[in-house]
Amino acid sequence: MSGFSGFIYSNKKNIIFIVLITISVSMMFFSDTRSLFILRNIGFSIISPFQIVFKSFENTVEGTMESVSENDRLRMELESARRELFQYRKIIMNFNTIRQENINLKKLLDLKDNMDYEGISAEIIARTPDNYYDTLVINKGSSDDIKENMPVISYANGKKVLVGKTISVTRFASKVLTLQSSKLSVGAIITESNTMCLIKGTNNSLGFADLVFIPKSVEFENGIESIIYTGGESHIYPKGIEIGKIIEFYPSNRYDSFKNAKVKISLDYSTLEYVLVLKNENQR
């Protein structure tokens, strides 16, 4: 017995290492089970308050630094903003007239508003450390009525652009799976040809995704940028939110029914700071 305990003592390091490796490998095999998913959510709930505190500290420091350095710039901006405001006042008067006309015409045509969604703005407080921005963490959770599978959008160049969907929600934070992840697929429509297809993340390179199931019969004119929008066929994503544009078609075999294309996502995930979580009326 003393020989055995002596063996254990002299090989303590190797034994502990083997045990830890065995635990890690076993967890990798069982990581899709429900209980581990719950454990992961608990871990996320514990760490998210720290992330929120760190973010607010970061914002305070950033705000202080900026306020010192930007005083002069703000004074100049104020002057130009005053001039612009005068111009905008004129434009708004025209805009109100046009909007009223638009409402009246819609009533005439009996069109129903497609976007039956209310937005909750949220700030990104964390990202995956991987270089592909698969998952983002936002500072709004179930306390703000956010649920799983809600569409998340942002604004780029004045247009609504799809970010992804919520996949995990705790009380004060939520995880957003982005189009960068290979786990996310979204029904899409190509505007030029009105073709329905599917867009999938690739994990391959930042800012790109794959457009799959494009019927081979559909032809595209060279030189025309084909913009991809959400198709609106699922219960999650509303129709008409911009996703990206086709930049090239992959070569396909002669007998394939479909062809695939590479899409440049309209959003730059590396600079994204704020998002809008859309609350579907049906989900509430």
Smallest distance from another protein to CB 55, Å: 7
Q: Which of 149, 185, 203, 283 binds another protein (CB under 8 A)?
A: 203
The stretch near another protein (CB under 8 A) out of 47-55, 77-85, 93-101, 253-261 is 47-55
**Alpha-carbon separation of residue 250 from 60, 183, 193, 208, 247 (angstroms):** 47, 21, 18, 13, 10
> What is residue 85's DSSP assignment?
H
* Residues numbered 104-143 forming contacts with another protein, rule: CB under 8 A: 124-132, 134-135, 137
Amino acid at the residue 260 = N
The answer to whether 137 and 124 are in contact (CB under 8 A) is yes
Sole residue written with tokens 């297809």: 197
Q: Count Cβ atoms within 10 A of the Cβ of residue 169 and give its class: 0-12 exposed, 13-18 middle, 19 or more buried.
A: buried
Q: Which of 96, 102, 121, 204 binds another protein (CB under 8 A)?
A: 204
First to last CA, the chain: 65
Distance CA 199, CA 221 (A): 21
Give whichever of 180 and 195 is closer to another protein, judged by the CB atom: 180
Give whichever of 132 and 237 is closer to another protein, judged by the CB atom: 132
CB contact set of 234 (below 8 Å; sequence gap of 6+): 186, 187
Site string for another protein, 206-235 (x = CB under 8 A): x-----------------------------
Both tokens assigned to 227: 């913009």
The stretch near another protein (CB under 8 A) out of 52-60, 157-165, 218-226, 241-249 is 52-60
**Counting contacts by CB under 8 A, is residue 166 touching another protein?**
no
**Would you put residue 86 in left (φ > 0), alpha (ψ -120 to 50) or beta?**
alpha
Distance CA 222, CA 42 (A): 51
Distance CA 277, CA 166 (A): 8
Please count the residues of this chain forming the interface with another protein, following the rule CB under 8 A.
51
Q: Which of 54, 155, 249, 250 binds another protein (CB under 8 A)?
A: 54
Site string for another protein, 5-44 (x = CB under 8 A): -------xx--xx--xx-xxxxxx-xxx---x--xx-xxx
Smallest distance from another protein to CB 280, Å: 24
Binding site residues, another protein, CB under 8 A: 12-13, 16-17, 20-21, 23-28, 30-32, 36, 39-40, 42-44, 47, 50-51, 54-55, 58, 124-132, 134-135, 137, 175, 177, 181-183, 203-206, 270-271, 273
